[in-house]
Structure 1
Amino acid sequence: MTEIFGDFIDEFTPEQDSLELTFSPSSQPIQQRWRNNRLSAYFMADYFSNFLPVAEEDTNRDKRVKQSRGAVSYIANELLENAMKFHDNQSSYKVKFGLHFLETSDVTAVILTTNIVNREMADRFKIFIKELLSSDPNELYIQQIEKSAESEDGSSGLGLLTMINDYEAKIGWKFEAVPDKIDAMAVTTVVQIAV
């Protein structure tokens, strides 16, 4: 069974440029992966900034590139860290990390991750997503800060709320059954930001 929440995009135009990476989260302890996650996020942001349609003579060029690079690297890092942190290490599946482009009135970066989680974690995440989609993001942010101070499970949702509140991101999720693992779900998170 497949469930979709929020502003999920499932297909991208094949003629648009994209970048996709895969990671084996169980190949190293999570603490050693944090540095690689950050480097991968910066790489995505640098890659993306090369496609911004900003003329060399534009006086705001450097500022726009810097802001776009900062937004993409923050979101990419948050998504990749979450995908790695919550990935089911008993699974042989790899974490997928990608960047796609949408050309609307602005250039839109679409950053996505896919990871495998156990069904219990998937159910808890769906509850949070439903709350996120039905709440005021600013109020929920304050509530989550208070909850995270009391909780030790590392699942505060503050990164997702920061994406919405600070970067006006649109976020969507897809939950799919994993064919050979009855107790697991593939979760794809897609974040869109106009730059």
Structure 2
Amino acid sequence: MIEHYGSFEDIRHDPDTETLNLSFWPGRLPLRQRWRNNGLSADFLGDYLTTFFPLDDDDPATARRQEEIRSAVSFVANELLENAMKFHDAAQPEPITISLCLHRDRVVFHESNGSDAQSVAGFRAFVLKLLESDPGELYMQQLEHNAMSEGTAGLGYLTMINDYGADLAWRFEPSASGGFRVTTQVTLPI
């Protein structure tokens, strides 16, 4: 049974929406080498999207807006890819994918990766806590918790919400191999 948390929407493929899709097979390179690729891929997505917001030499605000969009898209994409690489279950027979969809008023990301049942249970609990909590308070709690430990669990998602006004949603889809396909959706207003 497919489970949805938050306001999840499927990416539309029509003439009014621009989409870009990337796929990765994380087992091909060690995780350390993947970190560099994550940053390059995230920056590519940010640079790609800014081409839809052309500069106007007569309006300096266009350069600021373009940089804000590029920065937000790069940050979100990098966080999504890092989480996917860390938590992907290589036993699942599907790649990690990230899709970017540009609407008139928002950018929608979908990042999907395979996960085992135990990891999904812990992540689902985090998702529920995130959806039921005040993001600002939860951010402060996580900062305090992380100061006492080495973890950074959830800070990327909380930064997306608190700093970029993002809406998050998730889909948990059982796979034929006994695991799950987990899709994180991030919607950024533009």
TM-score (norm 2): 0.93
Q: 1:7–1:171: 8 Å Cα contact kept in structure 2?
A: yes
Mean Cα displacement is larger for which, 44-53 or 168-177?
44-53
Work out the CA distance in 2 between the residues paired with 1:155 and 1:91. 25
Number of aligned residue pairs: give it: 189
User: Deviations along 1:43-86, whole A, 9 cap, x unmatched?
Assistant: 00011111126655323011110111000000000001101110
- Matches of residues 81-160 of structure 1 in structure 2 within 5 Å? 81-103=82-104, 106=105, 108-152=106-150, 154=151, 156-160=153-157
Work out the CA distance in 2 between the residues paired with 1:193 and 1:54. 21
Q: 2:54–2:62: 8 Å Cα contact kept in structure 1?
A: no
Q: Does 1:185 align with 2:180?
A: yes
AA at the equivalent of 1:8: F
Q: 1:178–1:186: 8 Å Cα contact kept in structure 2?
A: yes
Percent identity over the alignment?
43
User: Deviations along 1:98-121, whole A, 9 cap, x unmatched?
Assistant: 110122xx3x11122100111111
Q: For residue 75 of structure 1, give the secondary structure of its aligned residue in structure 2.
A: helix
Q: How far did 1:10 drift?
A: 1.4
2:11 alignment partner in structure 1: 11
Work out the CA distance in 2 between the residues paired with 1:2 and 1:112. 16
Gaps of 5+ in 2: none
Work out the CA distance in 2 between the residues paired with 1:76 and 1:114. 12
Work out the CA distance in 2 between the residues paired with 1:49 and 1:69. 6
Mean Cα displacement is larger for which, 143-152 or 30-39?
143-152
Alignment root-mean-square deviation, CA? 1.6
TM-score (norm 1): 0.91
Gaps of 5+ in 1: none
Q: For residue 186 of structure 1, give the secondary structure of its aligned residue in structure 2.
A: strand
Q: 2:13–2:19: 8 Å Cα contact kept in structure 1?
A: no
